Structure 1
Amino acid sequence: MISLLFRLAPYAIIVAAIAAAFWFFADHVRDQERIAVELKSTRLRLSQAQMALARAEEVARVHKAYLQQAEAEAELWEKLANDLQSMESRDAPLSDFLGTAAERLYSKRAASTSDNNAATNSSRSPASLPRLPRTNPAQ
């Protein structure tokens, strides 16, 4: 029996080597398939990330344009505020329209604020403001 084992041992070794080679080849094929699936999912995630990046860049570009526009508007408002502040000391007469609007806004009434309701006291008119004489700057 031992002599039979010694005679068949080289064949058993060859069969074991072929089985190990087949096992390693099958394992290699499974690894390649797994790596191919991982590569496909990674490429998909990469393309999604690139699309998200492109959207974020577009949002950033639009936001930057909005901020530049807001800054330009703020500068215009600042210039307007400076112009209005520099005009405070000038005593120019108001136009008829602005004079009437100023009379309505800044009139002082003798009655209390509860009498200001137009439904209860429609006969009252706003107090008139003193008018400055009109000057023509061309003369």
Structure 2
Amino acid sequence: MPPPPQDPDLAALFDAAIAARARAYAPYSRFAVGAALRDEHGRVHAGCNVENAAYPVGTCAEAGAVAAMILAGGRRIRALLVLGDGAGPVTPCGACRQRIREFADGDTSIHAADSAGVNRSFTLDGLLPASFGPETLGA
């Protein structure tokens, strides 16, 4: 396993995602996820997954982090880290990739990590090529 990040900016995201994951509510899947992002002001916002007995109404960790950013007045994602202990890199689901796309550029870094460190890094364009975004609507 890779060591925790040495880059202070990435380490802050990692630490926030670890703390968020510790508060996840995942009694059904037992798959706790934490996410942390840095906004355009340099602030870190975190979220955790929140499951529900009616499965479709659960919330992903990334959605929580985006909501926290918006609540704090942020509007742009500069970097995001998703943390979960899976068999492979834990990356945002399709809905979260689109949610991230609303607030991020194609070259925004998305890091997949587990409790030991970052496993893989992507750009948003790498995870969601030829995406539909606000500029598609002329916004």
With normalisation by structure 1, the TM-score equals 0.14
Structure (1 or 2) with the greater helix fraction: 1
Higher relative contact order (CA 8 A, sep 6+): 2
With normalisation by structure 2, the TM-score equals 0.14
Structure (1 or 2) with the greater strand fraction: 2
Q: Which is greater in Rg? A: 1
